[in-house]
Amino acid sequence: MAYVPSATANRTPPQKDNTKTINKVLIGVIVLLLGYIIYDKTQDSNTQTTLTTTQQALATKEIDYKNLDSAKAILQAQFDIASNKIDTLTTANVKLEGALAARNSEIAKKKAEIKIILSKKNASESELKEAKEKLSELNNQIDSYVAEITKLKAENQQLSTDKKQLTTEKEQLTTEKNQLSTDKKNLEDKVDVASTLTASHINITAIKLSGSKEKETETAKRANFFRLSFVIDENRVSASGKKALYVVVTSPYGKTSIANGTFTTREGVETQYTEKIDVNYEQGKVLPVSFDWKPGTQFVPGDYKIEIYNNGFKIGETKKTLKKGGLFS
């Protein structure tokens, strides 16, 4: 016959098994709880790390943006300084614009390129880098510009000095030339004066004609003409050649007898002459001169004054008196 366990015998072992199971479940739950707690902590740590990293990245980005803004502001300030320097140089050197036209064109082009970049609201780092490079080139051009202006100014100063020196020399030469001209004129005047002939041994004779015979007379009504004779003295300055002599005969009435023209004296007085005599003079020689003069009308009693002029100077003078004469003279 088969063995059948009793009910009491079967209950006790299941109770022990249940206790073990519950213990295992509790242990598992505790393990799960611990695992979850550990996982949750890990997740919190990762999240925090992620948040921190993100915040740092954003902060870095913000710093980058701030750095870009600062770099742009610095570049703008440097650009403004360079622009002001260019304007000052151009304004102060307007006279040199022609010589610096090419340089001005290059600088203006570079300024425009930089200005375009700096005018952008959100210029990138690469654009600002490009602007910085162009600004460096611009400053180099400005330095070169300043050097060229300095050179041109020095050259202009030298030219100004040379011009002033030349002007002074020219004025000095002009003064010397004027002095030489004055000296030359003075010398010429002296030579001219020294070359003026002189007359001596002046003699006037009243001649009466009787047919072909001549007879001296002192009576006015008997005189037919005057014979004037004189000597041109030796002159070693006057050149040989034709010389003009002007003879002025003044009647007793105080008028020039038979005026044939005029000449100007050295005092600037225009004077009428009675006769003009051209003589051939030989330098350093004595020359006798003689000529006859008729009044054209009857002589009148009184004093006749005879003056001889050469080169504007009076070189001789004499007087001839004719008497009235008696009824039978």
Hey, where are the domains in the chain?
A: 19-167, 199-322
Could you count the other beta carbons within 10 Å of the beta carbon of residue 266? 14
Give the pLDDT of residue 31: 59
Give the pLDDT of residue 240: 95
Give the pLDDT of residue 296: 80
Contact between residue 266 and residue 255 where contact means Cβ atoms under 8 Å apart: no
Q: Give every CB contact of residue 113 below 8 A, 6+ residues apart in sequence.
A: 134
CB-based burial, 53-89: b 16+ in 10 Å, e otherwise: eeeeeeeeeeeeeeebeebbeebbebbeebbebbeeb
Give the pLDDT of residue 10: 47
Give the pLDDT of residue 137: 82
pLDDT along the chain (329 residues), means of 10: 45 53 58 56 52 50 59 78 71 58 75 83 83 82 78 83 89 89 88 93 94 92 94 94 95 87 93 94 95 89 95 95 74
In angstroms, the CA 157 to CA 99 distance is: 15
Give the pLDDT of residue 4: 46
Give the pLDDT of residue 6: 47
In angstroms, the CA 104 to CA 47 distance is: 61
Give the pLDDT of residue 33: 55
Predicted structure pTM score: 0.51
- We find that the CATH architecture of domain 199-322 is Sandwich (2.60)
Give the pLDDT of residue 327: 56
